[in-house]
Structure 1
């Protein structure tokens, strides 16, 4: 059977491993981090994910939809919180019964890695850092605790994130178009703990505190906590949230109801420990190189999170690749050519929609 090398054991890499495991391919997944299932804290973004139809369809194709959906919290509407801390406005998602699902990024990732490992043809290699990729030779070079290791495959999938090492090694490739844009906003993540052993806020909605050019959001978790994220211009963080007193004053003024639930100690401790993290939008074209390497997920089209489709679009990448591979009877070269032509337009479009939603 053909061999696929997957760089990155994040959401898109792990789901791709499930897809190709079911095909019977030999699958090798290389990840520069340690196994997240054995880590107390995981570096990188942990903004809760909103699983929509696009993502559910991909999970359904590998038999994970029903389990994953039950691990999340249904969200049937947006709930807008006014600045008075009392008035709210409900905006339903679509028709009655339609909803998206709030789900924890880490748990979702762990489930998919564990699912892929059930197949004897799948192997994961942790703490392997990509050094470079050679699309003509179908080879990827890794550094593992100081040792240089090469692996060759019939197909190489770059699922190694917005700062993809494989994409970086291809930057000088003729006619490769690439653009990146950091927006003026950053984010800090917080948590609301359970109140009297129950949710402190209504759980089955997407909570939003819109305040002009900054906003706070909250999504429920199964353990009755809420993942809370503030998005604001870096300049605003510097001028109005620079020490304990200013942070508490800012939240009390603009988010009075959330402030009471977050608490003084949690706010000040978090802002002492954490600096606002950046958000990037990336476009690339083509996504395929020498009919051997394919950029997928954030490595191909990282987007700002305000449209809620980053993970969903990455999952859809996996499904589209699988469908095109069927269409061309397993011909890898023809599949990658067709995938890149079709997917670039879609990826650029959804990136633009995410940016438009950010501006709105």
Structure 2
């Protein structure tokens, strides 16, 4: 049997797994980090699969705690608002914050993963095993079986932590042992990535914004990259008219984009090739319960609570999981059997809150952002924030620019809307009474 029984096993060397390995190693734990893929530092990223993400305050807070925020932010591109692209007319900018200076940050997923992996590899007590695919787990003994290029190997651990994403093999093993329940709610939407290359050596679009092409029941977004390209992501229905299934030929693709995204073809010369050859990804929400078993096996990040990407909070939420687990270990004096249930108790409601907000934000991004009513509401919201600083704060600012727990954000926003609604109703009543009094006096 390979591995040491006192190791903490982290299964999945993605963003959350590498960050978790850093936190655990700094606590003095020996860590074994297992990854089913080859070393990502030695290969090219998979075509059409999420090459960048939006990093905001929750993620930055986690990186600051291990001294990586400054390094990571050196290649980040701040996006201070949304640039809305209509079918006809010029794009319009919508600031994320009332001050206009707060930003979410477009960052290369691969570069961030590699930075975290390098940081973990440099820490004493961390060993990393690539091309290890988990195929067996005994939750009672924390004994794992992996398929490797050299054959099957087994490894033991003190604790097994699954950070292996929405399709988690660790969660699958717990399901096979009837130790957790799971629900997966897929959207009738998929996603496909396209690329806008640099134009004349510069960005083809404003790099200071997240670009959105809202089209009612579908949309496209674009995030800037350090090489001056943009990664575009189509979020379209998987079936029916104007869906991924409805476009096949090059001519049909060209006609559709010319009609619905007319400013894209002139700046995306590889549009048809990208569309035809990049895969369609699935979108869904994963829920499971419990997140841990007997203080010996646990799930974090997407493995426990995958969400749709429409609030840009997937990685940020997973990073916050790591911070909270570290806090729980502090409070429980390193006792895993106490820390893991406490971690779930504190994070599960927050994970559910951001899952619901992300689904709601999909409707906002694909449909509402283009409407005059939405724009008017945002102007009123910003006016309230200026008039009531610190007392009225928008949901977007609380989610993206603070570490206020997600569940608390939802409660606070509901309370704010109730107060504003009552105030508006009271103002309307006063105005109505004054008008009625004026009419009686005239009569």
TM-score range, shorter chain: over 0.9
Q: Distance in 1 between matches of 2:213 and 2:187?
A: 20
Name the Cα RMSD after superposition: 1.6
Alignment partner, residue 87 of structure 1: 90
Alignment partner, residue 388 of structure 2: none
For residue 291 of structure 1, give the secondary structure of its aligned residue in structure 2.
Answer: coil
Q: CA deviation at 1:12?
A: 0.6
Determine whether 1:256 maps to 2:262: yes
Over residues 69-96 of structure 1, what are the superposed CA-to-partner deviations in whole Å (9 max), with x where a residue is unaligned? 1221001111101111x42221111133
Given the alignment, which residue of 145, 148, 161 partners 1:144?
A: 148
Over residues 300-332 of structure 1, what are the superposed CA-to-partner deviations in whole Å (9 max), with x where a residue is unaligned? 011111111111101111111111111111111
Q: Distance in 1 between matches of 2:90 and 2:102?
A: 25
Does the 8 Å contact 2:45/2:51 carry over to 1?
no
Over residues 184-213 of structure 1, what are the superposed CA-to-partner deviations in whole Å (9 max), with x where a residue is unaligned? 111110111111111111001100010011
TM-score by length of 2: 0.78
Q: Distance in 2 between matches of 1:118 and 1:238?
A: 44
- What pairs with 1:1-360 in structure 2 (closer than 5 Å)? 2-42=6-46, 45-84=49-88, 86-94=89-97, 95-145=99-149, 147-173=151-177, 176-235=180-239, 236-238=242-244, 240-263=246-269, 266-360=270-364
| Higher RCO structure (Cα 8 Å, ≥6 apart) | 1
* Equivalent residue pairs, number: 357
Does the 8 Å contact 1:36/1:42 carry over to 2?
no
- Larger strand percent: 1
Alignment partner, residue 383 of structure 2: none
Over residues 11-49 of structure 1, what are the superposed CA-to-partner deviations in whole Å (9 max), with x where a residue is unaligned? 111111111121121111110100011112336831521
For residue 307 of structure 1, give the secondary structure of its aligned residue in structure 2.
Answer: coil
For residue 58 of structure 2, give the secondary structure of its aligned residue in structure 1.
Answer: helix
Q: Residues 245 and 194 (structure 1 numbering): CA distance in 2 closer, same or farther, change over 3 Å?
A: same
Over residues 228-268 of structure 1, what are the superposed CA-to-partner deviations in whole Å (9 max), with x where a residue is unaligned? 111100123345422101111111111111221112xx122
Instruction: Decide which moves more: 163-172 or 121-130.
Output: 163-172
Q: Distance in 2 between matches of 1:207 and 1:271?
A: 19
Q: Which 4+ runs in 1 deviate beyond 4 A?
A: 172-175
For residue 306 of structure 1, give the secondary structure of its aligned residue in structure 2.
Answer: coil
Q: CA deviation at 1:68?
A: 0.9
For residue 342 of structure 1, give the secondary structure of its aligned residue in structure 2.
Answer: helix
Unmatched 5+ residue regions in structure 2? 365-443
Q: Residues 203 and 239 (structure 1 numbering): CA distance in 2 closer, same or farther, change over 3 Å?
A: same
Unmatched 5+ residue regions in structure 1? none
For residue 256 of structure 1, give the secondary structure of its aligned residue in structure 2.
Answer: coil
Q: Distance in 1 between matches of 2:70 and 2:150?
A: 42
Instruction: Decide which moves more: 122-131 or 36-45.
Output: 36-45
Q: Distance in 1 between matches of 2:226 and 2:244?
A: 34
Q: Residues 171 and 239 (structure 1 numbering): CA distance in 2 closer, same or farther, change over 3 Å?
A: closer
For residue 134 of structure 2, give the secondary structure of its aligned residue in structure 1.
Answer: strand
- Larger helix percent: 2
